[in-house]
Structure 1
Amino acid sequence: MGLKHKVVWIVFVLVLIVAVSGVFYLNRLKRQALPPLEGEIVLTGLENPVTVYRDEWGVPTLVAQSERDIYLAVGYVMASDRLWQMDLLRRVTQGRLSEIFGKDLVETDLLMRTLRMTEKSLKILDSTENPDILTALEAFSAGVNTYIEAHQDKLPPEFVILGYEPEPWKPVHSANLIGYMAWDLTMPYSAEIILHKIRQKLGDDYFRELIPDITGQHAVVHEELSGADLPDIGAVFQKATQKLDQLGAVVFHGSNNWVAGPEKSESGAPLFANDMHLGLSSPGIWYPMHQVVPGRLHVSGVVLPGQPFVVAGHNERVAWGMTNVMVDDMDFYLEKVSDENPGFYEYQGEWKAFEIQKETIPVKGQEPVEKTVLFTHHGPVISDFKGTGEDVITMRWLGYDISRELEGVYALNRANNWHDFREAAKGFIAVSQNIAYADVDGNIGLQTCAGIPVRKKGDGLMIVPGWTGEYEWEGIVPFEERPYSLNPLKGTVSSANNKTTDKAYPYHISYWYALHYRIERIREMLNNKEKLTPRDFMRMHTDYQSAMVQDFLPGLLQVIHDHREELSPAEAGALNLLRTWSGSMEAHEAAPAVFDHFYVTFVRNLFHDEMGDSLFTEYTRSSYLSRYAVDKIWENHGGIWVDDIDTKGTEESLEDMIWVTFQDLVADLGRKLGKDPESWEWGKLHTLTLSHPLGSVKMLDRVFHLNRGPYPAPGSFHTVCPYAYSLANPYHVNHGASHRHIYNLADWDKSYVILPTGTSGNPASPFYLDQTEMYLKGDYRQDFFSVDRVKESAKYVLILQNKQ
């Protein structure tokens, strides 16, 4: 063999060795953080052993002899499945994403620091009167830290890829997650500033037509109320919040819950359903868990990774589940700044100094960035985030005030009856929820739990003068005066982010309710049968029949029929699809694609010509805004937005706009899905991909299999099963049911649940996204609650020992 051939051979062997070594390294990196599922592990700090039973889906049931031990074990087990997600959410609340992701997250970090979550959380912990809660949080933190210390060389792959290690966990990090949920659930931040900009650009007439007509919304949560004892347009802010969405750290979208009482249930006991509609990404936002301390605690449901208490679920006597109230808990003030000294602002005839908050934000691979935020007594100056030009606008948000959600969730886990439930619900102020209730004694109810501001003047819709003092808050509505329903005559309660009460209620709650489509369909299905079963509730969870179609389709068909002589073959085919359609948004059907693409195109044709590119883009990112406006314009059969200002000398009617939109959508679907309308499928257009925060890097996705999909998706934002999308990015499904729970109070063991993702956040785990296909098919897993049934069904048993 010649020298040249020897060199080539040696190089080949070396490359092969490197490649094989790389494969071994990657395989080790993928799997190194997988937790043991069986056997025994020493967990320092335990007083007695804790048994961890896992079913075939990896869902843990922890059985301990004391509450301190249970929460210590919860911290350890949760960290073994979700440590990097916990750290990511912690960094979101602290404004420390730039440390691991780089400069693109600086504005996001500044926004989150402006919310002062840690400052509030420390105050809450300092003022918590129940020492058992603090003990639980300390034990949970100890369990997390024990896991971190024992796995410094076996961390989840995200830590290795991003080149950092997790810091010790503290109770304040758990408390911060409550603050983050409060921020993510607030409605006005994404709506009222956009409306302010539209008013500035186009005037009052255009502005007024965009305001929701809540007097016309007749489907209210409490049907039988029991009583009550032009500048740059926001580019910086949009980027800040979009980054959180891309990381899977944006939680809110909407939710459903409903309960059938004993007289409406085939079993003679209440039947309970909840599905909270949140961002769909991987890992999923909820961690399923079952906690047992015989004689002290027995609770099952979903936990937010990073804190130990069940947020929505049931114990031995009570079930509860949540939907967003959509309360307007945020106001914006135009401040008057001194011309002579810009460090001062006017309030009631006096000059007050701005509070200055200086932030040093570490950035990966670069020097730290120095930022400054100004505060008045109302709150932070948010103009820089919202792109409002020279106007100095501040934000008053209820989330800055002390609230007791952490104590409330702790108490819900232990509630025995309606009284206990309401006492726990008092803690919900910043996190605004309609919490549905059922108990084993046959009672059902629904409590509005929200801090509802009492304003001296106004309703919170407009940006108001901050210097006069006339638009200040005078407190919040007392808990005893917040709406609730208990055992209504019709035998059911339900909510779907819809209007809370009728006009008789003396306090203004919000403009920002969800429209009536989901709640009307839910109540139609509840009333369709005399007696309901878990199987009926499963069908309700996965119902794709649209009440919105019933409102819009007749008018659409009439306009197309009036132009029947002008139809092209493709347009005639699309018309025939709509004529014969049941109104169900099935993935394999063509008519749903025609209908929703009509809606999306209609929104663009209505608003884009007046707004222009950037303002229209910002407007469509707040999906609820356009829904209110389209509903109002359709109901009123026209309005100022209908005219196309680009067609000089012609004033279009609503019929004209519908006809042009139909022509546009057929041509566009022809380009997207083919020329023959019969071949179109909604699921080819409307898809779900469960994306990991690092999955946008294609090489990482290929190596670690981070993302899953795209899957054809049925439903839409207007169906009870809500595979929703942003109008700024149709038809990429980004929100939906983050879980589905059906609790059978006749026999807890005959309850059913499903997640869109899975128990584990580790892509190498068999429990990573292992429930996705079941979820998409509408299947469920049986959710055993009695310890005997848990033991019988356990596939894995792990003992956490207190000593060697």
Structure 2
Amino acid sequence: NSADPDVAYTLAGIDAEVAGVNAFINSMTSITTPFEFKVLGFKPQPWTRLDVFIWAKMMTWGLSGGIYDLYRQWIRSTIDNDTMYNELFPDVMPYEVPIVPEQTNLSLVEYPNAPGGVVVSSYPGESAVQISAEEAMIPQAKLQALMSLLADVFQPLGQDEILGSNNWAVASSKSATGMPILANDPHLGLQAPSLWYEAQIVVPGQLDVTGVTLPGLPAVLLGHNDHIAWGFTNVGADVLDIFVEELNPSNASEYTYNGAYRSLAVYDENIHTKEGTDIPFQVKESVHGPLIDSAVGTYGLDSESQPNIAMNWTGYGITHEILSAGKLNRAVNLTEYYDALYWWDSPPQNIIYADDAGHIAITCAGLYPIRSGYTGEYPVAAYNDSIGMTSYIPYAYIPRSVDPVQGYLQSANQRSIDTAKYGFQLLGPFDDGYRGRRIDYLLNHTASVTVDDMKMFQADSLEVSAQEIVPYVVAAWDSAGDGNGTINGIMNPLRTWDYVMDTDVYTPTLWMYLEDAIHYVVLDELRSIDSSLLLSRTPILEMIIKENYSYYLDDHTTTGQVENRDQILASALVRAINEMVQEYGTDPSNWIYGVHHRVYVDHLADFTYIGGGPQRGQNTLNAAGGWRVTHGPSWRMVADLGNIQKSYGVYPGGQSGNMFSPHWDDLFKLWYAFNETTQQYGYHQMYFYSTAAAFQAADTSGTMVERTITFVG
């Protein structure tokens, strides 16, 4: 409704942003045209309101995860043992620390609907009923083809690892400043030009906000204003469901629904190319959503000769993320924070908050489906309206915590809330929980948190999984090892390792091989499954090892003998060392972690990269997954609500998208520079002044990276 003041304000901001983009496009010369456009032989078309909304929709799509229904069915059918599947893929991950320590509900009178104003029809106590999996089984060949062909569809933001991020806030009672301090570091694909652009947006008398925005988005997504600060992490909720349609055998353009045949909606689309030719394609859609196998051409791999796999997504249709972000930019207190997040639809985000009145809060904001007749875990045959996403959790009841007794809040993509204390189904997959356990430990054991502590926590590279498992491996070798002198010599540093994934030692390298080897020998029943589908199983291994769960602590590939825990772990250690030596040779200098674990900020077109040096971390607060690190903290921010001028930020790149500019990578140097003395990475101060004159007066070094954008709403 454009007559609504908030909507009108948002549209004015969009129009100002569009005008700014087009002003640059119209000013482009042979000198100022970006290098990438020259290489592609392409001149951008004028930017429009529609482009802004499309880019926002791409953002929500890119953060919505994957089609987990397909993954679950693939793994479950491959294991072909429901007991084993349920043990390895439990509803609750062992030892996890949920995000919400104390649930804070809002008033249903003030917020009767779901986010975005969606009318709800279900409340606590109404549970879903799962139908038998056989009713919606998709053949293995088709499942595999769908997963393979759809893998790249979920990469629009460049993430090639599981999405992860950290945020936390400490209350006045735990802060050395006597006021809240907030930290955020979203983990996304590292890219050049940077995903983020640092900006201060000023509307005199109405708005003054600073932080980072996405190119094309007319709002600060992560940052602070005069009174509040906020940050995001991804919830990881399953908001995509797969429905298997029953087509009319006499007419493939119809499907069964509510006892009758209904026509599929058909949309003829074209992809325009710079050569002027169009690439036509057709989208077919049922009541549940588009038929995704029409896009990837896998429908010949089952009994259906035509597309019949529909996907429902909570992000379909009109959503309000730009409106929500704009309202959050202007919010000055807790009530306005609630009002802003009411409009956040998709995908669910853990939005941390702190203000200068001393409050801290976190809201797992977004649309969470209430499912009828099925759980959403697997593809479902939905031939009538009794099965489907029938409603959403009311905004008043979504997971939320405000000013908890413990004095801090944190999220690292782990489970939102203790399921035993919550009346609705929240379907993941969620993170394995190690980062959440680590930050919870640090915050719980630091009585008076400083800004410097926050920076150290963001740089923390202690691997909790190694801390929990390696002592059992060492004890197992001492108990059941064969006394091999070579193995003894190589594994000895594990005895005194501090579990920090540092670049100048080889223990982190050995841990990487050891973790894989433990997966291999303990979960020997699952060796036929693609290991990429078994991500985040390490907490299950931790539990199996700690509880000495004998069924899995036996190598089922051997006959006539039953191995115990120590024998299994000792064999895993031998396997890990043998594989490491086979890969890198016998010279210990070749095993050093930093030789192999290096960070690359790749150019979007692979023309070049920033970085290439050794990188600390792994599945740690300082996230740096894999060996070639292309995913990690895309923005680090620490905001001090006691002195907002003493807030800090940095991202791995630069303000300029021109690879020949000195500002192409100057911020990367700060982001990458780890100080062994302070145990911190570099940051710049987020200067926060409302006028250009104030900036100039404060800019004694001439190195400020802030840019002021002014528009009148």
TM over 0.5: yes
Q: 1:801 to 1:212 in 2, by over 3 A?
A: closer
Mapped partners of 1:779, 1:204: distance in 2 = 50
What SS class does the counterpart of residue 282 from structure 2 fall into?
A: strand
Mapped partners of 1:348, 1:801: distance in 2 = 54
1:489 aligns with 2:385: no
Sequence identity percentage: 27
Mapped partners of 1:375, 1:739: distance in 2 = 38
- C-alpha displacement at 1:525, in angstroms? 1.3
What is the aligned counterpart of 2:251 among 317, 338, 341? 341
User: How big is the alpha-carbon RMSD for the aligned residues of Structure 1 and Structure 2?
Assistant: 3.1
- C-alpha displacement at 1:256, in angstroms? 1.0
The 5 Å alignment of 1:440-455 reads: 440-455=356-371
The 5 Å alignment of 1:36-55 reads: none
Q: Which residue of 2 aligns with 1:411?
A: 327
User: Any conservation in 2 of the 1:248–1:692 contact (CA below 8 Å)?
Assistant: no
The 5 Å alignment of 1:99-178 reads: 130-153=7-30, 154-178=32-56
What is the aligned counterpart of 2:379 among 463, 466, 479? 463
User: Any conservation in 1 of the 2:290–2:311 contact (CA below 8 Å)?
Assistant: yes
Q: Which residue of 2 aligns with 1:303?
A: 213
Deviation readout 1:576-598 (Å, 9 max, x if unpaired): 11111111111112111111221
Mapped partners of 1:370, 1:640: distance in 2 = 55
- C-alpha displacement at 1:157, in angstroms? 0.7
What SS class does the counterpart of residue 474 from structure 2 fall into?
A: helix
1:543 aligns with 2:444: no
Give 1 or 2: higher helix fraction. 1
- C-alpha displacement at 1:539, in angstroms? 0.5
- C-alpha displacement at 1:634, in angstroms? 4.6
- C-alpha displacement at 1:239, in angstroms? 5.1
Q: Which amino acid aligns with 2:480?
A: H
- C-alpha displacement at 1:268, in angstroms? 1.1
Instruction: Output the TM-score relative to the length of structure 2.
Output: 0.85
Mapped partners of 2:45, 2:662: distance in 1 = 27
The 5 Å alignment of 1:600-679 reads: 600-604=516-520, 610=526, 612=528, 616=530, 619=533, 623-624=535-536, 626-627=537-538, 630=541, 633-634=544-545, 637=548, 657-677=568-588
Q: Which amino acid aligns with 1:286?
A: W
Q: Which amino acid aligns with 1:748?
A: I
User: Any conservation in 1 of the 2:160–2:631 contact (CA below 8 Å)?
Assistant: no
Q: 1:644 to 1:318 in 2, by over 3 A?
A: same
Deviation readout 1:132-187 (Å, 9 max, x if unpaired): 21121112111111111111433101011111111110111111222122212223
Deviation readout 1:245-268 (Å, 9 max, x if unpaired): 498377971111111111211111
- C-alpha displacement at 1:346, in angstroms? 1.3
Mapped partners of 2:9, 2:649: distance in 1 = 30
Q: Which residue of 1 aligns with 2:281?
A: 371
What SS class does the counterpart of residue 691 from structure 1 fall into?
A: strand
- C-alpha displacement at 1:692, in angstroms? 0.7
Q: Which residue of 2 aligns with 1:791?
A: 696
Mapped partners of 2:412, 2:356: distance in 1 = 24
Q: Which amino acid aligns with 1:160?
A: K
Q: Which residue of 2 aligns with 1:49?
A: none
Q: Which residue of 1 aligns with 2:502?
A: 586
What is the aligned counterpart of 1:683 among 594, 601, 622? 594
Q: 1:526 to 1:356 in 2, by over 3 A?
A: same
Mapped partners of 1:780, 1:484: distance in 2 = 30
User: Any conservation in 1 of the 2:18–2:49 contact (CA below 8 Å)?
Assistant: yes
Q: Which amino acid aligns with 2:422?
A: Y
User: Any conservation in 1 of the 2:243–2:382 contact (CA below 8 Å)?
Assistant: yes
What is the aligned counterpart of 1:722 among 623, 626, 629? 623
Q: Which runs of 5+ in 2 are unaligned?
A: 108-139, 675-680
Q: Which amino acid aligns with 1:139?
A: A
- C-alpha displacement at 1:559, in angstroms? 2.5
User: Any conservation in 2 of the 1:234–1:387 contact (CA below 8 Å)?
Assistant: no
- C-alpha displacement at 1:237, in angstroms? 5.1
Mapped partners of 2:525, 2:473: distance in 1 = 22
Mapped partners of 1:293, 1:764: distance in 2 = 33
What is the aligned counterpart of 1:196 among 73, 76, 84? 73
Q: 1:492 to 1:148 in 2, by over 3 A?
A: same
What SS class does the counterpart of residue 513 from structure 1 fall into?
A: coil
User: Any conservation in 1 of the 2:71–2:533 contact (CA below 8 Å)?
Assistant: yes
What is the aligned counterpart of 1:562 among 472, 479, 496? 479
What SS class does the counterpart of residue 421 from structure 2 fall into?
A: coil
- C-alpha displacement at 1:505, in angstroms? 0.8
Q: 1:468 to 1:244 in 2, by over 3 A?
A: closer
The answer to which of 424-433 and 340-349 deviates more is 340-349
Q: Which runs of 5+ in 1 are unaligned?
A: 1-123, 696-700, 726-730
Q: Which residue of 1 aligns with 2:111?
A: none
- C-alpha displacement at 1:207, in angstroms? 3.6
User: Any conservation in 1 of the 2:96–2:414 contact (CA below 8 Å)?
Assistant: no
1:553 aligns with 2:430: no
The 5 Å alignment of 1:230-309 reads: 230-231=140-141, 234-235=144-145, 238=148, 241-242=151-152, 245=155, 248=158, 253-309=163-219
What SS class does the counterpart of residue 581 from structure 2 fall into?
A: helix
Mapped partners of 1:386, 1:186: distance in 2 = 23
What is the aligned counterpart of 1:733 among 629, 637, 643? 629
Mapped partners of 1:426, 1:215: distance in 2 = 29
